Amino acid sequence: MARNVIDEPNEEIVAAAKKDRAAKRGPFAGIILFLKQVIAELKKVVTPTRKELFSYTGVVLVFVVIMMALVYGLDQLFGWLVVFVFGTPTA
């Protein structure tokens, strides 16, 4: 199972952000800070194991099949209801 990681910003990143904000070096400092923070957040990403990946994929596929069956059933019900109320079209 995936590790539980608390999503809190790194203290170094927060300190660097405060320092950069206070310094106001220039227009590109914000972009560089943003990219540093993006890279730091991407390092926190946990890749699922092969077993977890197959498990998650199976859950998604089962959910999609159930939703397709529900929509198909409602479509058939409403189609029958329209024919019942309005009758079949005559040519």
Encode the chain (91 residues) as per-residue pLDDT tens digits: 556 656 666 777 777 777 766 666 677 877 888 899 999 999 999 999 999 999 999 999 999 999 999 999 999 999 999 999 998 877 6
Query: What is the rounded CA–CA span in Å between residue 76 and residue 38?
Result: 48
* Other residues' Cβ atoms within 10 Å of the Cβ of residue 48: 13
Do 51 and 61 lie in a common domain?
yes
Do 55 and 16 lie in a common domain?
no
Residue carrying the six token digits 């957040």:
41
Do 41 and 79 lie in a common domain?
no
Do 71 and 37 lie in a common domain?
no
User: Global pTM?
Assistant: 0.53
Do 73 and 37 lie in a common domain?
no
Residues spanned by the domain of 85? 47-91
> What is the domain count for the chain?
2
